[in-house]
Chains A and B, each alone.
Chain A
Amino acid sequence: MARPPGLLYAVDETPPPVTFVIAALQQVAVMSNSLIYPVILAREAGLTTSDLLNFASVAMLALGVATILLCARSRYTGCGYLCPAGFTQIYLGPSLLALQHGGLALVFGMTISAGLLQVAIAPLLRRVRMLLPPEIAGLVIAVVGLSIAVVGVRYGLGITGAGAIRPIYLVVAGISLVTMIVLNIWTKGYTRMFCVLIGMGVGYAVSAAVGIVDLSAAVPAGGLDLVRPPHFRFIQIRFDPTELAPFIIVALAGTLHLMGNISTAQRINDDDWIRPDFRSLSGGLAGNGVAAVLCGLAGSLGINSYTSCIGVSTATGITSRSVAYAIGVVFAVLALVPSAAIVVATIPAPVIGAAMFFTAAFVFTSGLQMITARMLDSRKTIVIGLSFGAAAMADIYHGVFATAPAFLQPVLGDALVMGTSCGVLLNLVTRIGIRQLAAIRLDPGHINRDAVEEFLAEQGAHWAARRDIINRATFGVVQLLELLGEVPGGIELEARFDEFNLDLRVRYTGAPLEFPERRPSAREIMASAEGERLLAGHLLRRSADRISSRALGERTEVHPHYDH
């Protein structure tokens, strides 16, 4: 595990008190953007202003509890990384449909069903890890970035249903975004760490100055209590098996969404990150499922992980798990203090948009880096390219897909779910015909390095292997051929791959080789061909993670192994 250069506080580190508190507030400000989804549901349910405020308080409490469940590092729940919770559009479509068919009671009952399904899937996740190889995880993360950017632009420009832009929103979002960028690039310390919060604060102030903020609209007729615990008055639960299909899709879509987010959270903590840690993913999914069950029981919309928070962690370098607990406490307080909740819940749309657009840049780039670390053949190129296109299509033609059957809405209506579903399915289909074992024969007199390079490059691309490992393996074989010289009977080269191992076997007629531990000196290398042979053997030993040579009758098999 290597510490990335921009990382200020790693997952197991706790920042100093002031940084700790402000980091939590920064995440809370971003997470609060997601309250728009329960508010939409509450409005559709026809709740009064007072009930709506209470509904928002319950939702805030849910955000706090869910964040702790998602981020904890325990045996049963939590991914162990800073991966806060948020309400997303994934639950919204099916919940609105359930609302029409059976009121809020049905929404809550079906939310519990989706949560239970996620809890059930969690321990099985490791067994289906071939569904999410690293290049597909990279795709998911890039699509996460894309989808945040799209929503960010919509909010930032105040794009209405008719497609018009509100110029004043553009001004507010522009000022907010430029503040974040300037602080992130050209400053250090606190201003860089809290660039998102400061940018949102500046945007909030500008919004107030130009008259976008209207706190009074959210205040009920009877005024606000100073402290008011949330009432769980909406608790009615109903199940309906005919509503199950969309909520199964919700649970699966939320699972993929979560896997993308946790993978990113893992990656920004480790410069040597190679593939998702499925133990952490399983814990996170169990936490997400329990959180969704609690949301249903408490009377709130279902919950997912919130991608913008990962973007904030990436941009600011604060990834401490302990921040999650502070977030939980802050939301518990906000749920008790209606006036504070209103300030958070009424962050103007262009400010939200600027924060989302800014954080999207970091998430998107992280995904691209994961994809390009792998060698891609035409199959993988098609899988990644088409899936990315499908994700973009879901965003661009959002209105067209709104007329699709409701059970398909969680897939068609969400770029992330659409892109991920396509990626996972296409990857499964295009795996057909890929052999994990391949071999070539190099005849005597025709032992050329180009053939070896082409063979390994082609296989590496079929397998989407890591470029650096294939480079090391190619060097190993060419160095070995050089050491062997002309071999009567030619050479067989066999390569076997799985996601964790690359094993080569080189067979030839002749004596076994030695791979010396001792490194020859520069003078020894210059002095004789034997010195050069010693260096060749030593390089072979060092460039592979393991190497052995054994006699098979008259023939010898050299077996370099590379951890992948």
Chain B
Amino acid sequence: MSNSALSIEQFHSGVVRIVALKGRVDSTSANDVMACLSNLISGGEKAILVDLGGLLYLTSAAFRVLLVATDEAERGAARLALCNVIGHVRELFEMGGLLDAFTIHGSREEAVDRLS
């Protein structure tokens, strides 16, 4: 297995549930991210932070999953935000014109402060 395969780590920081994605998110792994976020939302998490700092890149399938999860969170009265959207990953958000479609914080610490 290549180093680019997706890994998903989850942990709490206070009331915020952090989901750290590492590697590549494409159509083969986007469903795993969706399942993870859906479970958290349906499980009653009210503040979810998706840390993209470890991502190499994400494709259109991943963007769709993040948009759907954000929508789901809003309908479930939860907040879903992104952080560490940097480098090549940030360029992809810019190319897709999707920076404004999400709540994006700079660092994980800043995001946790805002979501707490």
The answer to whether A and B interact is: yes
Residue numbers of A with Cβ under 8 A of B are 449-450, 453-454, 468, 471-472, 474-475, 478-479, 482-483, 519, 522, 525-526, 531-533, 535-536, 538-539, 542-543
Contact A539 B64 (CB under 8 A): no
Q: What are 11 contact pairs spanning A and B, CB under 8 A?
A: A449-B28, A450-B1, A453-B24, A522-B67, A532-B61, A532-B63, A533-B60, A538-B95, A539-B92, A539-B96, A543-B92
For residue B6, give the distance in angstroms from its CB to the closest CB of chain A: 11
Task: Give Cα A535–Cα B97 distance, bound, in whole angstroms.
Answer: 10
Contact A482 B26 (CB under 8 A): yes
Contact A482 B60 (CB under 8 A): yes
Contact A482 B27 (CB under 8 A): yes
Tell yes or no: B116 within 8 A of A by CB: no
Task: Give Cα A535–Cα B98 distance, bound, in whole angstroms.
Answer: 10
- Supposing A450-B1, A471-B88 touch, asked if A479 and B59 sit within 8 A by C-beta, the answer is yes
Given known contacts A519-B96, A533-B60, what 12 new A-B pairs fall within 8 Å (CB)? A449-B4, A449-B26, A453-B4, A453-B24, A475-B59, A522-B98, A525-B63, A525-B64, A532-B64, A536-B60, A539-B92, A539-B95
Contact B71 A526 (CB under 8 A): yes
Residue numbers of B with Cβ under 8 A of A are 1-2, 4-5, 24, 26-28, 56-57, 59-61, 63-64, 67-68, 71, 88, 91-92, 95-98, 101
For residue A290, give the distance in angstroms from its CB to the closest CB of chain B: 45
Task: Give Cα A531–Cα B98 distance, bound, in whole angstroms.
Answer: 14
- Supposing A475-B88, A526-B67, A535-B96 touch, asked if A449 and B24 sit within 8 A by C-beta, the answer is yes
- Residues of chain B contacted by A450 (CB below 8 angstroms): 1-2, 4-5
For residue A424, give the distance in angstroms from its CB to the closest CB of chain B: 32
- Supposing A450-B2, A519-B97 touch, asked if A536 and B67 sit within 8 A by C-beta, the answer is no
- Residues of chain A contacted by B60 (CB below 8 angstroms): 479, 482-483, 525, 532-533, 535-536, 539
Contact A474 B57 (CB under 8 A): yes
Identify the interface centre among A450, A472, A519, A532: most chain B CB within 10 Å of its CB. A532
**Chain A: CB-nearest residue to B94:** A542
Task: Give Cα A384–Cα B88 distance, bound, in whole angstroms.
Answer: 27
For residue A340, give the distance in angstroms from its CB to the closest CB of chain B: 52
Q: Which of A478, A539, A542 contacts B24 (CB 8 A)?
A: A478
For residue A520, give the distance in angstroms from its CB to the closest CB of chain B: 9
- Residues of chain A contacted by B26 (CB below 8 angstroms): 449, 478-479, 482
- 6 tightest Cβ-Cβ pairs between the two chains A and B: A450-B2, A542-B95, A536-B60, A522-B101, A535-B60, A475-B57
For residue B15, give the distance in angstroms from its CB to the closest CB of chain A: 27
- Residues of chain A contacted by B5 (CB below 8 angstroms): 450
- Residues of chain A contacted by B64 (CB below 8 angstroms): 525-526, 531-532, 535
Task: Give Cα A536–Cα B27 distance, bound, in whole angstroms.
Answer: 11
Contact B59 A471 (CB under 8 A): no
Task: Give Cα A539–Cα B89 distance, bound, in whole angstroms.
Answer: 12
Identify the interface centre among B26, B60, B63: most chain A CB within 10 Å of its CB. B60
- Residues of chain A contacted by B92 (CB below 8 angstroms): 475, 539, 543
- Residues of chain A contacted by B57 (CB below 8 angstroms): 471, 474-475, 478
- Supposing A478-B24, A482-B27 touch, asked if A536 and B2 sit within 8 A by C-beta, the answer is no
Task: Give Cα A293–Cα B11 distance, bound, in whole angstroms.
Answer: 71
- Residues of chain B contacted by A479 (CB below 8 angstroms): 26, 59-60
Q: Which of A453, A468, A536, A542 contacts B59 (CB 8 A)?
A: A536
Task: Give Cα A454–Cα B59 distance, bound, in whole angstroms.
Answer: 18
- Residues of chain B contacted by A483 (CB below 8 angstroms): 60
For residue A425, give the distance in angstroms from its CB to the closest CB of chain B: 35
**Chain B: CB-nearest residue to A471:** B88
- Residues of chain A contacted by B97 (CB below 8 angstroms): 519
- Residues of chain A contacted by B98 (CB below 8 angstroms): 522
**Chain B: CB-nearest residue to A528:** B64
- Residues of chain A contacted by B68 (CB below 8 angstroms): 526
- Residues of chain B contacted by A478 (CB below 8 angstroms): 24, 26, 57, 59
- Supposing A449-B28, A475-B88 touch, asked if A482 and B4 sit within 8 A by C-beta, the answer is no
For residue A519, give the distance in angstroms from its CB to the closest CB of chain B: 5
Task: Give Cα A222–Cα B78 distance, bound, in whole angstroms.
Answer: 91
- Residues of chain B contacted by A539 (CB below 8 angstroms): 59-60, 92, 95-96
For residue B77, give the distance in angstroms from its CB to the closest CB of chain A: 19
Contact B2 A454 (CB under 8 A): yes
Task: Give Cα A489–Cα B88 distance, bound, in whole angstroms.
Answer: 32
For residue A521, give the distance in angstroms from its CB to the closest CB of chain B: 9
**Chain B: CB-nearest residue to A522:** B101
**Chain B: CB-nearest residue to A480:** B59
**Chain B: CB-nearest residue to A468:** B88
Task: Give Cα A453–Cα B96 distance, bound, in whole angstroms.
Answer: 22
Task: Give Cα A474–Cα B101 distance, bound, in whole angstroms.
Answer: 25
Contact A472 B59 (CB under 8 A): no
- Supposing A478-B26, A522-B101, A526-B71 touch, asked if A471 and B1 sit within 8 A by C-beta, the answer is no
For residue A471, give the distance in angstroms from its CB to the closest CB of chain B: 5
For residue B114, give the distance in angstroms from its CB to the closest CB of chain A: 21
- Residues of chain B contacted by A472 (CB below 8 angstroms): 88
- Residues of chain B contacted by A474 (CB below 8 angstroms): 57
Task: Give Cα A201–Cα B1 distance, bound, in whole angstroms.
Answer: 61
